[in-house]
Amino acid sequence: MHDGCTGTFENGKLVVDKIRMMGFNTMEMPIVVKIKCIECGNEFEMTHLETKCPHCNMVYGVTPCSATNPDRIMAAGIDY
């Protein structure tokens, strides 16, 4: 079940599930991205393909193919 770089995801839970399944969730981002949390509004740095907001624990994920595009980072849920 690997779509290479052609896969699309309906929501952040699917993104995080996919990168966890592939073992990519602990990989470092190619570039650190500053994002604004959709839950608490605080800015933080996304350092890994799966990163948790340090303020409210919202989990974010991005696939390796999309890691250089901040628009592809998706929220999965608090403590997901």
Which whole number is the average pLDDT over 37-55? 98
Average pLDDT value over all residues in the chain: 93
Per-residue confidence at 3, pLDDT binned at 50, 70, 90?
A: low
Per-residue confidence (pLDDT) for residue 8, from 0 to 100: 78
Domain borders along the chain are 12-78
Beta carbons within 8 Å of 43's beta carbon, 6+ residues apart: 34, 35, 36, 37
Per-residue confidence at 4, pLDDT binned at 50, 70, 90?
A: low
Beta carbons within 8 Å of 2's beta carbon, 6+ residues apart: 22
Which whole number is the average pLDDT over 12-26? 96
